[in-house]
Amino acid sequence: MATGDNRRVALITGITGQDGSYLAEFLLEKGYDVHGIIRRASSFNTTRIQHLYEDPKCHRQGKMKLHYGDMTDSSSLIKVISAIQPTEIYNLAAQSHVMVSFEVSEYTAEVDAVGTVRILDAIRTCGLEKSVKFYHASTSELYGKVMEVPQTEKTPFYPRSPYACAKLYSFWIVINYREAYNMFACNGILFNHESPRRGENFVTRKVTRSIAKIHLGLQDVLELGNLDAKRDWGHAKDYVEAMWLMLQQTQPDDYVIATGETHSVREFVEVAFQYVGRTIKWQGEGVNEIGQDAQTNQVLVRINPKFFRPTEVDVLLGDASKARNKFGWKPTVTFKELVKDMMDSDLELMSKNPNA
Ligand code: NDP
Ligand code: GDR
């Protein structure tokens, strides 16, 4: 690519996911041409970006374009990269569910580990390794069995799931390609981030959907696994900005992105129930624990052992000082505001469509 190229062309893998959809919005707003890789599916998997597709900017001016491809298929990656000559690539595609990774461990490695080296090699095959800026979706799951709290870029890793093991390979292959081929490649070590667009089987969204249904009389009880796991939960909208900021620096590097606060699953449940005016009191222990309405004694939460993981990550709490000092990133949405945003959205969704 010629030096002085001032095109702004982004390729997003995983554009149909939670982060991909917010990132596409963010980059379109900044004037980028946005390309996304989508998988063929038997039903629509583009719900999160449908509103963008319908935007005249995307349709008439062709600012957003979707291409079929898959992280398990090198030729599709090479074809897309060669055709669009991106200036920035955001590699967000992944089998992203930790519990599911215990069921489909080999596939998770194919996509989340080998997929990363496939796209890095595709960049080299297309001769773009000196010009393209590459973001990789790394994760706080790398810390796993916690060696240090809070966790920084220097905290040792101890992955606790096939998902985290696959992402550990990706973390290092990104660094290796940066050092071996002088590529502008960054790992964003992002802690959990949520939103109304969060997948329905992650714990926060499962909780807000279920509470909205319980509130509207559409469901009786919320069933969960480990209530005592602690996570550093931020809002996805804040986190996609950090991805972009990493690629605007003069040097590639790896950064923790986190709020610096941690809350248990139990606390998330309590705050979300409070939002619809119910106080939870907890009774019993272990798998026999229940959460009851403090006024009516109605059982609202039960433990189901099937949601426990073979190996758990007990506590995540990130220190994002490096990102704050380097490029001024800080979260704007508090824990309570995050719960409110998700509750408002699910209450609206369930009242309009009880079968959602
Ligand atoms: P989602 O699960 O919402 O989205 C994952 C995306 O990857 C979807 O677009 C999905 O497509 C796509 N995908 C899955 N498998 C393949 C494949 N084989 N080939 C091509 N595309 C594929 O994840 P998030 O948006 O929450 O997360 C984005 C990335 O960030 C992931 O890599 C995740 O592991 C990582 N991450 C997420 C964090 C979070 O808290 N959200 C924290 C740290 C890291 P489809 O829609 O067709 O399923
Ligand atoms: P996580 O997110 O594993 O941190 O990975 P998830 O919301 O799935 O779990 C968080 C914690 O909640 C506990 N939990 C339950 N989890 C689910 N999904 N369902 C339940 O019923 C339930 N009950 C309790 C879990 O045991 C866990 O401790 C997310 C993903 O987005 C990854 O892709 C990303 O890398 C990390 O966040 C950072």
Q: Look at residues 226, 223, 225, 201 and name the one whose alpha carbon lies nearest to residue 214.
A: 223
Q: Which residues contact 125 (CB under 8 A, 6 or more apart)?
A: 78, 82
Whether ligand 2 lies within 6 angstroms of the CB of 170 is answered as no
Band (pLDDT 50/70/90 cuts) for residue 5 is confident
The helix or strand, by DSSP H or E, that contains position 356, with its residue range, turns out to be: none
Residue 17 CA to ligand 1 centre (angstroms): 5
Cα of 53 from ligand 2 centre, angstroms: 30
Confidence of residue 57 (pLDDT cuts 50, 70, 90): confident
Nearest atom within ligand 1 for CA of residue 192? 40
Q: Is 132 helix (H, G, I), strand (E, B) or coil?
A: coil
- Looking at the CA of residue 265, tell me the nearest atom of ligand 2: 12
pLDDT tens, position by position, 213-248: 999 999 999 999 999 999 999 999 999 999 999 999
CA-nearest residue for atom 23, ligand 2, is: 225
For β-strands 193-194 and 234-235, DSSP reports them as: parallel
Kindly indicate whether the ipTM for this predicted assembly is greater than 0.95, answering yes or no: yes
205 ligand 2 Cβ < 6 A: no
SS3 75: helix
Ligand 1 site, CB within 6 A = 13-14, 16-20, 37, 39, 41, 45, 70-72, 92-96, 111, 137, 139, 190, 192-193, 199
Catalytic site residues?
Answer: 139, 141, 163
More confident residue, 242 or 3: 242
Position in ligand 1 atom list of the atom nearest CA 18: 25
Q: Which domains does the chain carry?
A: 9-195+233-261+315-332 (3.40.50.720), 203-228+264-312+340-352 (3.90.25.10)
pLDDT tens digits, 155-214: 999 999 999 999 999 999 999 999 999 999 999 999 999 999 999 999 999 999 999 999
Asked whether the whole model's pTM tops 0.90, one would answer: yes
